[in-house]
Chain A
Amino acid sequence: MVGVPRALRCTVPSRGRHSAGPAPDGRRADSIPPSGFPGSDPQFSQAQLLDEYGIDISVLNNILGQINFPGGNQPVPFSAGLQRANNDWAMHEWFTSDPRWRSSICVTFEEPDLAVQEIVRCTEMSDRFVSILVSTRTQKPFGNPKYEPLFEVASQLGLPITFHPGGTAMNNSTGSGMPSYYFENHSTYPLGTLTAIASLIFEGVLDRWPALRFVAIEAGWSWAAPFAWRLNAAADTEVLEASRLQRKPSEYFADHFWFTTQPIEEPEDPAWFVEAYDQFAGLGLAENIMYSSDYPHWDFDSPRTAIPKTLPDTARQALFCDNAARFYGFGAAGKDGR
């Protein structure tokens, strides 16, 4: 079987985050390598993920920097050094271990000028660094002018920006305070992406930087169409603010926002999955959905079983392979086996 999964996480041994998943530190209980830390052993991950499922390319997201050390509440040079070390680890231990690995670039995104330096350093080091990793929870909504240097470098280098849950302790994860339970925390993952999309649109970022592309990880995708329509309603009524935009909000989605599948939608009636997909595709987003595993986390989606077989073959082929191949420029797509 071929496919181009992404959103695999690898981590250095870390003190863990707001966790309480079924396994240590939110990982699959069966993903513990001899070293003891899930996602820390390239060969173990390769065997359990790439080889097991016949995966052609996998993009690593090392979320240590954004989860535990968000670029605040610690010295800035230390944060920068930590992200440099993360990226060097990917370069010298993961890329060398297997040709199928790619990686996001870990950066101190709240210090955009430092982040730009690290992005440039990594892309000069290897073309296997394929995106810029940012948290779904940032100090300001991501369209804020603060992040302009990142828009510029991403546009110049043609790198997408990836939103991954977790991150800054600067803001509560809900508008009314911090959640009590891991269930709540995990369920709030889409909110940061929702916020970022509204911000990027209304701040005019996508007009100024038409080449910018974003990937939403672990956010789901079935809320995208209704949210696009809500953004349109906002623009319809707030004419003064919307008049600065070149397009209707929903029209930005196809060119700028990509979504990953994990955790895959599980509607009450399985038949609604295809309806929801068709609704999503109806917004021009059939090419904007990409398979992700979230290996080695507990809510991992197996490429064999997670994506409903009721989805037409053409959609499965696009989702498993072609969309990501095109998006990241991975070259010729393979065929979708079963």
Chain B
Amino acid sequence: MSVSAQGLTALRAPGGWAGPVIDVDVHVHVPSIRTLFPYMQQGWRDFIVERAVGTPPSFASVYPQNAGNVVRPEWRPENGGLAASSLELVREQALDAWAVERAILNCYWGIDSVRHPDLAATIARAVNDWLIDEWLDRDDRLRASLVVPAHTFADAVAEIERVGSHPGFVQVMMPVRAMQTYGRRNWWPVYDAIVAHDLVMGMTWGGTSEGPPTPSGWPSYYAEEWAGEQGVFMSQLTSMVAEGVFQRYPTFRLAVLDIGFNWVPSLMWRLNKEWKGLRRTIPWVNEPPSQIFRDHIRFTTAPLDDAPPSESARFLRWLGEEMVMFASDYPHAYPGDYRRFLDALPESARPKIMADNARAFYRL
């Protein structure tokens, strides 16, 4: 199967999808750290120059720009610059290409790998201000995740307090790899802020944790690591369910991004089964995990993986038509033919996947 843009840009070709499209995961990248200088105090600009601070390291390790699936060839800027780094690029290649009603921007820039707490907070503030200035204020179709410094929870809270009320921000980006499992009570102050501002928690690809991403150490190959990242998401969802995040926060909304949905039914079934016998040990989990998933969590179409469209349709049926939202994951290059996927679905599911589920979940 070839990795082609046909799947996405063909979406709007004659015979394709003609209804509304809400794209819940459009990645944008900060061109360079200097881009953020207008949004920092002079003292921090000086610090960055003096210490030769560049792009945070996990941006390159999470999204190695020359890895096959990170940027589709036709979406690389001709001048050799960074993909998805300007509104003009993103408009032409994504927003207009599949004629979105709305798109949610996710600017993963590896802030989690900045260990210096104040530098991390400075960069996070700057990224959010840049997103407002250069993106949200310039195109009504756009909404975005706000980014937070992940290691110092109080700083994450402060940033949510600072910009969380901006109407363009609908989500707080929390990368899937974290210093602690996301169910743990230490996160409660961050969740208090997320819920107080009525934002969605966006569990995105990336992050920095204290240790390797797998229970068996560090993968050798990028393909191996990419495929196995599913396990990190599985463990984070298990943690959030087990620790009662959704009982403590009955309005909590979690979007699970950039990891598809085929794997979810198997996990739901296992969690349900485990819960029936171990309920007493986590007594606040007073309903089946599958119900918690349906009430609080949504997934995205990307990547469709190599599943035959009829099998993707089966996974969706097991999961529920309301559970999945369309995401291009621009500028990533994932295989998956969206035309064939939609054709394999019941007609009732198509508008839900392409727009209605996102409109309801994000209240767009």
Contacts and interface: CB of A to CB of B under 8 A. Distances in A.
Given a CB threshold of 8 Å, the question of whether A touches B is answered with yes
Interface of A: 20, 22, 136-144, 170-184, 186-188, 190-192, 194-196, 198-199, 201-203, 220, 222-223, 225-242, 250, 263, 265-268, 272, 275-276, 279, 298-299
A222 B211 contact: no
Given A175-B235, A176-B180, A230-B262, A237 B227 contact: no
A266 B222 CA distance: 33
Contacts of A196: 216
Given A172-B215, A238-B223, A275 B231 contact: no
Contact of B306 (A177, A203, A233, A239): A233
Contacts of A136: 215-216
B269 A176 contact: no
A222 B266 contact: yes
Interface string B326-348: 00000001111000000000000
Contacts of A142: 216
A176 B215 CA distance: 10
A198 B216 contact: no
Contact of A198 (B177, B227, B243, B269): B227
Q: Taking each of B227, B265, B277, which has the highest tally of chain A beta carbons within 10 Å of its own beta carbon?
A: B227
Contact of A144 (B1, B220, B263): B220
Interface in B45-86: 67-69
Contact of B269 (A178, A233, A268): A268
B202 interface: no
Nearest to A182: B281
A139 B215 CA distance: 8
Contacts of A141: 214, 216-220, 224, 228
Nearest to A174: B235
A236 B318 CA distance: 26
B87 to A, nearest CB: 26
B65 to A, nearest CB: 14
B216 A192 contact: yes
B274 interface: yes
A250 B306 contact: yes
Contact of A230 (B67, B227, B272, B277): B227
B160 to A, nearest CB: 20
Nearest to A188: B235
B306 A266 contact: no
A111 to B, nearest CB: 16
Interface stretch (B102-110, B140-148, B181-189): B181-189
Given A179-B242, A267-B318, A226 B263 contact: yes
A232 B311 CA distance: 15
B184 to A, nearest CB: 6
A176 B182 contact: yes
Given A137-B215, A144-B217, A228-B306, 15 more contacts: A138-B216, A176-B176, A176-B182, A177-B181, A181-B282, A183-B242, A183-B275, A184-B183, A187-B271, A187-B274, A199-B216, A202-B221, A227-B230, A237-B223, A267-B265
Interface of B: 1-3, 67-69, 176-184, 207, 209-224, 226-228, 230-232, 234-236, 238-239, 242-243, 260, 262-263, 265-275, 277-278, 281-282, 290, 303-307, 311, 314-315, 318, 333-336
A154 B263 CA distance: 31
Contact of A229 (B68, B214, B269, B307): B307
B311 A279 contact: yes
B221 A203 contact: yes
Contacts of B180: 176-177
Nearest to A144: B220
Sort A-B residue pairs by CB-CB distance and give the 8 closest, nearest first. A232-B306, A174-B235, A237-B69, A238-B223, A175-B213, A226-B262, A175-B232, A237-B68
A238 B215 contact: no
A184 B216 contact: no
A176 B232 contact: yes
Given A171-B212, A177-B210, A237-B334, A182 B278 contact: yes
A27 B146 CA distance: 47
Given A138-B217, A188-B215, A229-B305, A175 B266 contact: no
A176 B260 contact: no
B6 to A, nearest CB: 14
A186 B231 contact: no
B229 to A, nearest CB: 8
Contacts of B315: 226
Given A140-B218, A180-B183, A240-B68, A223 B263 contact: yes
B266 A180 contact: no
B293 to A, nearest CB: 11
Contact of A172 (B211, B218, B282, B305): B211
Q: Taking each of A142, A233, A279, which has the highest tally of chain B beta carbons within 10 Å of its own beta carbon?
A: A233
A117 B292 CA distance: 50
